[in-house]
């Protein structure tokens, strides 16, 4: 009996060690995209170092492609407005992003994929907030299918407090609320606060107050927050 118990304990130790080894060997793909506030974010300052510290440099691939002033329909191919006919062409920026993704990953396999999304200003300006939640969910599903996955994690940078009165961008709070709705309705999603990132001195020394864009320190903090939420979602993934 003592021999059998010792053997069982050793077996469990092997399983535990193997499990730790599996976790240590996991590979993680993180895709960053969106419009100007993502375009201005340098992942190398805070985002990439933070996720590499958590999982190991050789276990992380970060791909970023963003373009200023663009609506979500340039990523989501199934986009439709609440009223009227849809545009003739959608998804061109998504195709550009995916080209970079495939070039970066080659034949490498990943245990998790996370989309980090900072976009929505243009949709708020064009008053497409009513379809924003549906469009963002559609984009995530589109990415999941194209990468052959059951799901991808999603980290959303919520629109800031730039226009809470909806005077300049009429659907600002509609899009902002939609982003929170998407994040809080999906166990694989999270949102990041940006309300405190757009106050202070700009890169050119201009004083910003509730600006559309963030300060240099704001972008560094944003990268850290994105990384922290991405790490949390990855660590919450069920282990095989």
Cα–Cα distance measured from residue 213 to residue 162, given in angstroms and rounded to the nearest whole number: 9
Transcribe 116-150 into DSSP letters: EEE--HHHHHTT-GGGHHHHHHHHHHHHHHHTT-S
Q: Is the pLDDT of residue 10 over 60?
A: no
Cα–Cα distance measured from residue 41 to residue 39, given in angstroms and rounded to the nearest whole number: 6
Q: Which residue has the tokens 């809470």?
A: 164
Q: Is the pLDDT of residue 47 over 90?
A: yes
3.40.50.300, 3.40.50.10190, 1.10.3720.10, 3.40.50.1110: CATH of 29-235: 3.40.50.1110
Q: Which residues pair with 113 in a beta bridge?
A: 29
Q: Rounded to 5 degrees, what are φ and ψ at 208? A: -105, 140
Q: Which residues pair with 192 in a beta bridge?
A: 157
Cα–Cα distance measured from residue 34 to residue 69, given in angstroms and rounded to the nearest whole number: 9
Q: How confident is the model at residue 70 (pLDDT cuts 50, 70, 90)?
A: very high
Choice between 76 and 1, residue whose per-residue pLDDT is larger: 76
Q: How confident is the model at residue 86 (pLDDT cuts 50, 70, 90)?
A: confident
Contact 117, 156 (CB under 8 A): yes
Which tens digit of pLDDT belongs to each residue from 210-226?
Answer: 999 999 999 999 999 99
Percent of the chain with pLDDT over 90: 85
Which tens digit of pLDDT belongs to each residue from 137-178?
Answer: 999 999 999 999 999 999 999 999 999 999 999 999 999 999
Average pLDDT rounded to a whole number, residues 62-72: 98
- Dig out the tokens for 222 from the structure: 């944003």
Choice between 192 and 10, residue whose per-residue pLDDT is larger: 192
Sequence spans of domains, the chain? 29-235
Q: How confident is the model at residue 196 (pLDDT cuts 50, 70, 90)?
A: very high
| pLDDT of the residue at 214 | 98
Percent of the chain with pLDDT over 70: 89
Average pLDDT rounded to a whole number, residues 219-236: 98
| pLDDT of the residue at 1 | 45
């Amino acid at each position: 009996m003592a021999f059998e118990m010792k053997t069982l304990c050793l077996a469990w130790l092997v399983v535990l060690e193997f499990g730790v080894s599996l976790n240590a060997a996991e590979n993680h793909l993180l895709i960053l995209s969106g419009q100007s506030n993502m375009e201005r974010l340098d992942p190398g300052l805070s985002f990439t170092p933070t996720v590499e510290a958590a999982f190991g440099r050789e276990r992380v691939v970060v791909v970023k492609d963003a373009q200023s002033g663009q609506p979500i329909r340039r990523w989501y191919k199934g986009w439709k407005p609440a009223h009227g006919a849809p545009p003739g062409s959608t998804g061109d920026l998504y195709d550009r992003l995916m080209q970079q993704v495939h070039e970066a990953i080659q034949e490498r396999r990943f245990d998790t994929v996370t989309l980090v999304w900072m976009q929505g200003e243009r949709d708020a300006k064009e008053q497409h907030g009513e379809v924003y939640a549906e469009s963002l969910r559609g984009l995530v599903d589109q990415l999941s299918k194209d990468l052959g996955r059951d799901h991808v994690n999603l980290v959303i940078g919520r629109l800031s407090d730039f226009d809470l009165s909806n005077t300049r961008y009429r659907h600002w709070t509609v899009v902002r609320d939609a982003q929170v709705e998407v994040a809080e309705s999906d166990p694989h999603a999270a949102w990041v606060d940006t309300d405190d990132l757009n106050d202070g001195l700009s890169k050119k020394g201009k004083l910003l107050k509730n600006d559309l864009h963030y300060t240099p320190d704001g972008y560094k903090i944003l990268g850290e927050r994105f990384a922290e939420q991405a790490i949390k979602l990855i660590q919450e993934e069920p282990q095989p």
